[in-house]
Structure 1
């Protein structure tokens, strides 16, 4: 899942990272590259906590939704891709059935996205639940 982040740098500080879609999720790094990798780790940890609390994962919104908000002025924006298949505990093998044509589309999309079939299906399921889950609570 893709999340926008905003990175701020004061002259006497490390790079600070804020994740607008995840209130309370912050990170930092002494270089821009370290700030980006630490942001992914912070987001994974934050999302793991959301899953442990049995809440729905928030979807990442677009940068345009936040770019004009005062708290984010002067920052550098980036998009980070978080591997949702790493979350939620131990991996469990399942057996599912789906029509061949749909499976072909899933596999082609996964290949073009540099994902495994399992990762794509896990990401898709969590995104679907995030969008539609509130109506079923």
Structure 2
């Protein structure tokens, strides 16, 4: 089971957004952090389906330390909350 780092941003007081540095364009959101986290596996599933339809697969996830060392994402990791999202979700992995 893989764990992708997700960045939680709360710049808008009415919406929480969540995005994956390793998965360009894969985003989730919600009215609060809990809802954004609940929606994250669905966003990952949709993203994976799109890649598979194009004959590709999900890239391997990087660790938080690797993202902190990447100048493209270091500031985001420092300034926002980073969480790990398991893929596939535990419920799917058991099927």
Give the TM-score band, short-chain normalised.
Answer: 0.7 to 0.9
RMSD of aligned C-alpha atoms? 2.2
**Structure with greater helix percent:** 1
Q: Which has the larger radius of gyration?
A: 1
Gaps of 5+ in 2: none
Does structure 1 retain, via aligned residues, the 8 Å contact 2:68–2:77? yes
Give the 4+ runs in structure 1 shifted more than 6 A. Answer: none
Structure 1 unaligned runs (5+)? 87-114, 120-137
**Which is richer in strand?**
2
TM-score (norm 1): 0.56
8 Å CA contact retained: 2:5, 2:64: yes
Instruction: Give the equivalent residue in structure 2 for 1:55.
Output: 56
Cα offset, 1:9, TM superposition: 0.8
SS of the residue corresponding to residue 68 of structure 2 reads coil
Q: Which protein, 1 or 2, shows the higher relative CO under an 8 Å CA cutoff with sep ≥ 6?
A: 2
TM-score (ref. length: structure 2): 0.78
Task: Give the aligned length.
Answer: 89
